């Protein structure tokens, strides 16, 4: 793999090629890939997911998921002041964040039970199940529905849910609609755009889906990451390299299993991930 060439690749004018390359590299949602393939029991994976929802930091989540019950929440509170947060969780701070952790523990002393409580056979059902959960808004409603569908193999129906897509994917969809315009194919609105994107991704292989065709939830990911690519925040491999960076050096069985899960697709090696990481 020529990492410099890969990172330099520019597909800002070709979203179809962008989607193809991103999925081929398993860089669309590496967090799903590594968790799906990690040799961990389901309860540990669920604790990882809940901890991931706090700081969106795989390293912190890999440590937290080793603890059960009150010790799980104690760890999250202990690292609350200093935990590195991804942009998706930049607001999980201060009194609001602390109150959220308190509410979660009060309602779900067994942390994996909180993830179990989100389960639904449709996005709308998952969304409804999460309404009472503090600091869990639109982004995480979509995220948990996607995790159930991809990581835990519980099929979730996203049909008709385009309007619930988070802000960045909707912005990416607008960019894709603009690119379609020169060919006289400019979609009329978000639903039409997502139909175009979904039709394209349905033909892209994605091993962790167990043979199922990709659908709206993966089309949403294309729009999200394409927007980041257009504005210069994403290059191929960045998502996998960020996950590796957070997990690398973290001790414990979960972190080791998650690192192995990231490498299990045969796309990346520690060396190539480190090399991509130097471009972050």
Rounded distance, CA 232 to CA 278, Å? 16
Statement: residue 262 has pLDDT above 70: yes
Rounded distance, CA 199 to CA 215, Å? 8
Quick one: pLDDT at residue 135? 95
Structure confidence by residue, pLDDT tens digits, 206-228: 888 888 999 999 999 999 999 99
Q: Taking the model in full, what pTM does it have?
A: 0.95
Structure confidence by residue, pLDDT tens digits, 106-154: 999 999 999 999 999 999 999 999 999 999 999 999 999 999 999 999 9
Query: What is the secondary structure of the chain as a DSSP string?
Result: --HHHHHH---TT-HHHHHHHHHHTT-SSHHHHHHHHS---HHHHHHHHHHHHHH--HHHHHHHTT--THHHHHHHHHHTTT----GGGTT--HHHHHHHHHHHHHH-SSHHHHHHHT--SBHHHHHHHTTTSTT--HHHHHHHHHHHHHTS----B-TT-GGGS-HHHHHHHHHHHHHHGGGT---SSHHHHHHHHHHHHTTS--GGGTTPPP-HHHHHHHHHHHHHHHTTS--TTHHHHHHHHHHTT--SHHHHHHHHHHHTTSS--HHHHHHHHTT-
Q: For residues 261 and 35, is the Cβ–Cβ distance under 8 A? A: yes
Q: Please identify which residue in the block is written with the tokens 């980041």.
A: 228
Pick the closest to residue 104 from 133, 127, 131, 128 (CA basis): 133
Which band of pLDDT confidence, cut at 50, 70 and 90, is reported for residue 184? low
Quick one: pLDDT at residue 87? 83
List b or e across 151-188, with b for residues whose CB sees 16 or more CB atoms inside 10 angstroms.
bbeeebbbeebbebbbebbbbbbebbbebbeeeeeebe
Rounded distance, CA 4 to CA 27, Å? 16
Q: Please identify which residue in the block is written with the tokens 């972050």.
A: 280
Statement: residue 54 has pLDDT above 80: yes
């Amino acid at each position: 793999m020529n990492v410099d060439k890969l990172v330099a690749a520019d597909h800002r004018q070709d979203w179809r090629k962008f989607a193809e390359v991103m999925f081929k590299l398993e860089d669309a949602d590496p967090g799903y890939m590594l968790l799906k393939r990690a040799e961990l029991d389901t309860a540990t994976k669920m604790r990882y997911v809940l901890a991931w929802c706090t700081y969106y930091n795989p390293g912190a989540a890999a440590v937290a998921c080793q603890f059960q019950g009150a010790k799980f929440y104690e760890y999250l509170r202990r690292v609350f002041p200093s935990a590195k947060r991804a942009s998706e969780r930049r607001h999980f701070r201060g009194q609001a964040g602390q109150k959220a952790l308190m509410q979660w523990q009060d309602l779900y002393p067994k942390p994996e039970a909180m993830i179990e409580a989100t389960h639904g056979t449709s996005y709308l059902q998952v969304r409804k199940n999460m309404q009472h959960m503090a600091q869990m808004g639109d982004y995480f409603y979509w995220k948990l529905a996607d995790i159930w569908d991809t990581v835990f193999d519980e099929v979730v129906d996203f049909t008709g849910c385009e309007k619930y897509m988070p802000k960045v994917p909707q912005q990416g969809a607008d960019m894709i609609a603009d690119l379609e315009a020169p060919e006289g194919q400019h979609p009329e609105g978000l639903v039409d755009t997502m139909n175009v994107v979904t039709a394209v991704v349905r033909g892209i292989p994605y091993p962790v889906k167990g043979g199922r065709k990709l659908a709206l939830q993966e089309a949403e990911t294309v729009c999200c990451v394409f927007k980041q690519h257009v504005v210069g925040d994403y290059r191929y491999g960045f998502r996998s390299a960020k996950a590796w960076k957070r997990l690398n050096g973290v001790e414990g069985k979960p972190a080791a299993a998650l690192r192995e899960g990231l490498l299990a697709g045969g796309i990346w090696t520690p060396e190539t991930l480190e090399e991509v990481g130097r471009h972050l």
